[in-house]
Structure 1
Amino acid sequence: MTLMKYTRPGSNAMSKQFSDIMDEFFNDAVNSRRNSFVPSIDISETEEDFQITAELPGMEKDDIAVNLENSRLSISGERSFEKEETGKKFHRVESKYGSFERSFQLPDNVDEDSISATYDNGLLNISIQKSEQEVTKKIEIS
């Protein structure tokens, strides 16, 4: 299959070249900023728990870490691009690769000991049970 660039009929050759130059400039500038992998995250809540779902396509379970420190839940990992196929020439790669870390401050009404995580078909699902009572502390003013 041969890829050919579409040319608009009746377009001026000079303006086409300028347009191509501008497209390359702005596309390269945007892509350099977006050249890292940032997974999409969905957070939902029921009466019993909080649910966090992270989209991590093409990753293995061993490439993902979920940590809790000072009521901050962190999801980190690395999605690597492996060119193992010989004889294949890439014309365009739009998939994002690289290391990432997403962190979320947990609310006071969660049971930190109840956090569980599962990974299936590229989706990381984290469940955090709510605690019976919120952790609040009244501070006397002296």
Structure 2
Amino acid sequence: MAITRWNPFREFEDILDRYNRSIQTAPRNGESNELMRKADWAPAVDVTENKEEYLIKAELPGVNKEDVKVSVEDNILRIQGERHLEKEDQDKKHHRIERFYGSFARSFQLPENVDEGNIRAEYKDGILTLRLVKVEKAKPKTIEIDLH
């Protein structure tokens, strides 16, 4: 058995990291967000954009596809799910667990130019990829008034 030197600052960094992630996904404008009160952790997410679409990639290693739910309601995209803790065998003991387990949730306000009916999701190698297709914003029409 190897002896590991205890570093109290490492534990403090872990606490700060969890706190920072919770702030990044906290509700704004005083609105209540029940999903975040239930969430134990939040996956890292990249959001990019090109001419045709927005691309959201969420890191979900160790999460089964069946345990992930993506929904859109009131122009809010929600990714939620759960990573289950592995059962401990009688023959092995856990000495350190650094990965996050439990429920997670992330919410994103969709831009006006996203086609909500044309969102595609793919899950491969622990990465959830969402493609949000852009639509052209309707141009204002000018209506001439006929004066008699």
Same fold (TM over 0.5): yes
Query: Who is 2:3 aligned against?
Result: 4
Q: Deviations over 1:83-112 (max 9, x none)?
A: 243311111111111111100000101111
Matched, 1:105 2:99: no
What is the alpha-carbon distance in structure 2 between the residues aligned to residue 38 and residue 134 of structure 1?
36
What is the alpha-carbon distance in structure 1 between the residues aligned to residue 78 and residue 85 of structure 2?
23
Query: Who is 2:68 aligned against?
Result: 64
Q: Which runs of 5+ in 1 are unaligned?
A: 7-19, 137-142
Query: Who is 2:23 aligned against?
Result: none
CA root-mean-square deviation? 2.7
Structure whose alpha-carbon radius of gyration is higher: 1
| Aligned partners of 1:55 and 1:122 also within 8 Å | yes
Query: Who is 1:23 aligned against?
Result: 8
| Aligned partners of 2:120 and 2:131 also within 8 Å | yes
User: Structure 1 residues 50 and 134, CA, compared in 2 at 3 Å: closer, same or farther?
Assistant: farther
User: Structure 1 residues 83 and 135, CA, compared in 2 at 3 Å: closer, same or farther?
Assistant: farther
Question: Percentage identity across aligned positions?
Answer: 41
Matched, 1:37 2:21: no
| Structure 1 residue 46 displacement after superposition | 0.5
| Aligned partners of 1:108 and 1:134 also within 8 Å | no
Q: Which runs of 5+ in 2 are unaligned?
A: 20-39, 141-148
